[in-house]
């Protein structure tokens, strides 16, 4: 019997993320807006752009043929109208991102990953956040150039994107969960910088001072209007908030996404076609989807199919994790909680409370 090789990532001295989530409904609503932000923004922005501009904006959206890359080694599709979407916030550290990489971290990363499960009927949704420091078994995958990459154990989840590419991230999540991903959506952080500058900044309020040399963020407690560069630092920071784990950073990301959405809603996009086009151009340039969604028309159709989802019924759950016994700075999926969670989603059943509890406690909440 052949065993998969083991890969390890450089140790970083910080505590692992926690699986706890807040019981306060506003937090759940903010998380939903983060997961669905790209769809919501596209519907808002594209509605103010003439159809004659669609061809230009369509050309911005990058598509990945997930089905071709993965092949038949996938879970069965749901026999219902339910949908599962893998949403990534990426930090490619290349091109425009390289200039914004204040931490000098090499390689691409899937900085934020959520599985959005929408049961049959599409009136509710659950978002499962996968901590980026989770150690997983990466399956055998094919790179975009067609070369094969062998399976490997103990690979840090957020490194798979840079090692093999987005299709392998999808395949990894599918094998972790036993759930087929119907769609894939990725937004590049560098694109958010340009989007924020295009709308004139985003206003956020922080309760405590944030000083993080790694991201370059330096804010005093209070209300601030962030430009694109500061916004990028805001969604990247983690060392300056809470206990330094991913949860504090995720909370700031959710807060920022809500503020960004509110600012775009506030602006008179229909009254300013030039600004509307500029915003739509920046947003679509930052967007990568699976090939089945890689057009404005298809995205808009899919967005309309989710109109029945009530934000007040949304729930966000951190994948239950435990500290790794070999490396306390890493986590692994906690069992049986993680399997209980995935099984409930596979069967469109209520998630048991036991599957929402995580042994790893990082001192934050999501």
Rounded to the nearest integer, the mean pLDDT of the chain is 76
- Interval 291-315: pLDDT, tens: 998 988 888 788 777 777 765 566 7
Q: Are 53 and 291 in contact (CB under 8 A)?
A: no
| pLDDT for the residue 22 | 37
Any domain includes 237: no
Any domain includes 224: no
Q: Give me the residues paired with residue 222 across strands.
A: 206
Range of the structural domain that residue 98 is part of: 25-201+271-356
- Interval 4-28: pLDDT, tens: 555 544 443 333 333 333 334 344 4
**Which CATH number covers residue 156?**
3.30.420.590
- Interval 37-65: pLDDT, tens: 445 455 445 554 555 566 778 888 899 99
Three-state SS string over 251-309 comes to HHHHHHHHHHHHHHHHCCCCCCHHHHHHHHHHHHHCEEEEHHHCCHHHHHHHHHHCCCC
> What's the pTM?
0.75
- Interval 91-112: pLDDT, tens: 654 444 444 444 443 444 556 7
CA distances from 48 to 178, 241, 265, 277, 288 (A): 40, 37, 12, 8, 22
Domain count, the chain: 1
Examine residue 89 and say whether the peptide bond preceding it is cis (omega within 30 degrees of 0): no
| pLDDT for the residue 18 | 39
For residues 322-345, give the mean pLDDT: 93
pLDDT at residue 145 tops 50: yes
Any domain includes 109: yes
Residue 217: φ, ψ to 5°: -85, 130
- Residue 217 φ/ψ region, left for φ over 0, alpha for ψ in the -120 to 50 degree band, beta for the rest: beta
- Interval 260-271: pLDDT, tens: 767 876 776 656
């Amino acid at each position: 019997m052949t065993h998969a090789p083991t890969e390890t990532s450089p140790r970083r001295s910080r505590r692992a993320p926690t699986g706890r989530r807040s019981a306060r409904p506003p937090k759940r609503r903010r998380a939903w807006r983060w997961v669905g932000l790209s769809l919501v923004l596209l519907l808002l922005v594209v509605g103010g752009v003439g159809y004659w501009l669609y061809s230009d904006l369509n050309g911005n959206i990058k598509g990945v043929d997930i089905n071709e890359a993965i092949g038949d080694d996938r879970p069965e599709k749901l026999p219902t109208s339910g949908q599962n979407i893998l949403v990534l916030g990426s930090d490619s550290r290349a091109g425009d991102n390289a200039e914004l990489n204040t931490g000098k971290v090499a390689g691409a990363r899937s900085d934020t990953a959520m599985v959005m499960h929408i049961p049959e009927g599409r009136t509710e949704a659950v978002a499962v956040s996968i901590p980026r420091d989770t150690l997983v078994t990466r399956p055998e995958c094919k790179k975009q150039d067609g070369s094969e990459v062998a399976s490997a154990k103990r690979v840090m989840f957020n490194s798979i994107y840079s090692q093999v590419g987005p299709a392998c991230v999808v395949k990894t999540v599918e094998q972790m969960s036993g759930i087929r991903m119907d769609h894939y959506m990725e937004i590049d952080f560098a694109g958010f910088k340009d989007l924020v500058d295009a709308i004139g900044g985003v206003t956020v309020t922080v309760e405590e001072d944030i000083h993080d040399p790694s991201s370059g963020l330096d804010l005093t407690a209070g209300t601030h209007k962030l430009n694109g560069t500061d916004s990028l630092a805001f969604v990247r920071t983690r060392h300056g908030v809470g206990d330094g784990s991913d949860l504090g950073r995720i909370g700031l990301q959710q807060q920022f996404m809500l503020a960004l959405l509110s600012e775009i809603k506030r602006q008179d996009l229909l009254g300013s076609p030039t600004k509307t086009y500029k915003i739509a151009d920046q947003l679509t340039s930052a967007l990568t989807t699976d090939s089945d969604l890689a057009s404005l028309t298809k995205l808009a159709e899919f967005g309309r199919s989710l109109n029945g989802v009530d934000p007040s019924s949304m729930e966000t759950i951190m994948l239950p994790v435990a500290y790794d016994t070999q490396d306390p700075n890493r986590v692994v999926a906690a069992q049986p909680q993680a399997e209980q969670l995935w099984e409930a989603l596979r069967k469109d059943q209520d998630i048991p409370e036991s599957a929402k509890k995580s042994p790893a406690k990082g001192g934050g909440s999501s």
